[in-house]
Amino acid sequence: MAHLLVRHKVDDFDRWKAVFDGHAAAQRAAGITVTHVMRNVEDAGEVVLLFDVEDVERAKAFVFSTQVPGAQEESGVLDRPDVYFLTVA
């Protein structure tokens, strides 16, 4: 199984989380399931997400689609997210 790791900064975690949760159906349709939503203990505005990925190509098509940047803007993402597709070594 593959995984997706995303790191970004947000201006308001609660606002960001509400928008993020509202896209759960789109995430499922893309074959990604969030397993962890984490915040940096040193900087509560830094969010790290870990997803299970069913199909990397389908997940990439979603993550790099025009839909995601609009949701990021709406939710208050402050920087360009770091996105990593990973497998267990």
Measured torsion, CA atoms of residues 54, 59, 44, 38, in degrees rounded to the nearest 10: 0
pLDDT at 69: 75
Looking up residue 22, the CATH number of its domain turns out to be 3.30.70.100
Instruction: Give the single-character DSSP code of 51.
Output: E
Structural domain count, the chain = 1
- The reported pTM is 0.91
pLDDT at 74: 84
Domain span at 30:
2-87
Q: What angle do CA 23, 28, 29 make, to 5 degrees?
A: 100
Per-residue pLDDT 10s for the chain (89 aa) are 899 999 999 999 999 999 999 989 999 999 999 999 999 999 999 999 999 999 999 999 999 988 777 788 888 899 999 999 999 99
Q: How far is CA 26 from the centre of its chain?
A: 12
**Residue 53, H or E segment:** strand 46-53
